[in-house]
Amino acid sequence: MQDIAIDDLIPHRGRMKLIASIVQVSNDIAVTSAVVADTWPLCDGVSVSPIALIEVAAQTAGVLSCWKKGESRSAFIAGMLTGIKSAEFFVDKVPLHAELITTATTMYSLEDYEAIEATVMLGEQCLCKVQLQIFGLRSKDIQDS
């Protein structure tokens, strides 16, 4: 797979950029890799709260959404609002240095609204499943109003 710049698809930088690479992306699916670090939010120095996995899922969903629309994150200058429809956790903590693979798929979409389901895995172990609702407000939408 060609190298795809994450920075072109999500606005996160520094400590808040949790995904490290894009493993696969198409109009149907985004798969990302992340390595849990002590700089992550909700880290106690030994592990990370699984609540942080919601952000990993949201960033992977952002990759899928921007890729599918053929737009860079700069098209969403006003931002992307993300709501958590549901989140199911299967662990109490996530160890530092764990390599996570997150898969996001679109459940349904309508114009700038999408419902995306994401699963975060550590090897064969499912750490969480998240359903997200995303609404993207593009800069062109603001200029047109």
Q: What is the CATH number of the domain that holds 131?
A: 3.10.129.10
- The 3-class secondary structure across 111-138, one letter per residue, is CCEEEEEEEEEECCEEEEEEEEEEEECC
Residue 76 lies in a domain: yes
Average pLDDT, the chain: 85
Comparing 81 with 17, the larger pLDDT belongs to 17
The pTM assigned to this predicted structure is: 0.85
pLDDT in tens, 72-101: 444 444 456 678 999 999 999 999 999 999
The count of structural domains within the chain is 1
Residue 1 placed within a domain: no
Task: Indicate the range of 33-37, 57-61, 86-90, 134-138 predicted with least confidence.
Answer: 134-138
Domain assignment present for residue 68? The answer is yes
By residue range, what is the domain housing residue 77?
A: 6-144
